[in-house]
Structure 1
């Protein structure tokens, strides 16, 4: 099921325009540089004991939704994304009554009157929320049940200015800014930075638990 909520800010609309084209090539190209997506889910499966309600923020084409369903077959899963085109692709992959797709920005919690989530996943989403990543972390904290986990795989940093500028053209901020804030808001269970392509850039994995 897909519920549409109109996106708002200029940066959000710019991201929507970006994915009007990139949605067509996303699955065919992103495997070559979005590292750690499966690894963070493997590690989540070890620490998040049978989550009943899962939220993925920036679910895109639904790749992770399929993997989450395989790992947690009895969970209700919600995917949130801004891009109508990306969600259309996801809807074709996840024909499942226990998966809900929402089109909206993630600037506020989504659970509202329903039960909070046991797991919130950000997979290469937070580094593209500029501005908005701190709001998204605040929303995730509110969306999580006490004892629930946030899981993040994302770009971290690069020592090459030209590469950081190029990633900025693609709406990605690479200043290692996510990890200190994550460690402040959640109790770290996994907090690692790993090199890609002999150190051209680094990506990070984070899993943290909400205690209060």
Structure 2
């Protein structure tokens, strides 16, 4: 596994500052509202032998640890903007020879064309803000023709005060993601669920190019 601190990247200062503070608390607190992560992995169809997998916004490595269990012959790349989060991921995954961690922002030249059998985004797309169309074009380019995209993320809330609070925490709660996913990908499986009796909704999405 490469040292994430050795990667060169263009950093997003606000998000980086946010996670510098939250990284030590992340695993202890996020279980209470990042719902559906493990269930999403159970929804992923069979992948070819020795699949290439990318997680964008891999955080502290929880999902990559699960991916390694689900796909023991996979090569897994984790990309994240936050050095602090990747440092936590490195500590969690230091036993692995299957996983590579990269520090950086996801963009058009991040990876080679048609590189991945699976791209996972777990509560990261909402943090790209409302203008995400270019990201979907990059995802289409980076997926193999028979690859899958797997997304779990916040959807929206009927409460304006809660949407404003989440926006303060760099999360777009406008409900714009599912329509975009359906626009760019052929859905294979979609679920939308309520959290805390309807305070907000979140979704799980599996799709193909």
What interval of TM-score do these two structures reach, taking the shorter chain for normalisation?
over 0.9
SS in 2 for 1:42: helix
- Give the match for residue 29 of structure 2: 29
- CA deviation vs aligned residue, 1:4-55 (integer Å, no higher than 9, x gap): 22225xxx210000000000100000000000001110001x3545561000
Instruction: Tell me, yes or no, if the aligned pair for 1:109 and 1:143 is still in contact at 8 Å.
Output: no
Shift of 1:131: 5.4
Give ranges in structure 2 of 5+ residues lacking alignment. Answer: none
CA distance in 1, matches of 2:182, 2:157: 20
Mean CA deviation greater in 93-102 or 125-134: 125-134
Contact 1:61 1:86 in 2 (8 A): yes
Equivalent in the alignment of 1:18:
18
Aligned mates of 1:51, 1:192 — CA distance in 2: 28
Change beyond 3 A, Cα 1:98–1:132: farther
- How many residues were matched structurally? 205
Counterpart check, 1:85 vs 2:88: no
1:191 is aligned to 190
Alignment of 1:4-153 (within 5 A): 4-8=7-11, 12-44=12-44, 46-50=45-49, 52-95=51-94, 96-112=96-112, 116-130=115-129, 133-153=132-152
Asked if 1:180 corresponds to 2:179, the answer is: yes
Taking a change above 3 Å as real, the CA distance of residues 198 and 50 of structure 1, as seen in their structure-2 partners, is farther
- Per the alignment, residue 204 of structure 1 pairs with 203
> 3-state DSSP class of the match of 2:197?
coil
Corresponding residue SS for 2:120: strand
Shift of 1:136: 2.3
For structure 1, which runs of at least 5 residues remain unmatched after alignment? none
Following the alignment from structure 1 to structure 2, what is the Cα–Cα distance between the partners of residues 13 and 108?
Answer: 20
Name the SS of the counterpart of 2:24 in structure 1: coil
- How far 1:184 moved relative to its partner? 1.1
1:181, CA displacement in angstroms?
0.8
Q: Distance in 2 between matches of 1:137 and 1:100?
A: 23
Superposition CA RMSD, Å = 1.6
Once the 2 structures are TM-superposed, how far is the Cα of residue 169 of structure 1 from its aligned partner?
0.5
Runs of 4+ in 1 over 4 A off after TM superposition: none
So what's the TM-score if we normalise by structure 2?
0.93
> TM-score if structure 1 supplies the norm length?
0.92
Residues 165/80 of structure 1: CA separation in 2 closer, same or farther (3 Å cut): same
CA deviation vs aligned residue, 1:139-198 (integer Å, no higher than 9, x gap): 211110001000000000000000000000100011110011111111101122110000
Cα distance between partner residues in 2 of 1:59 and 1:180: 23
How far apart are the structure 1 equivalents of 2:63 and 2:203? Answer: 17
Stretch moving more, 88-97 or 197-206: 88-97
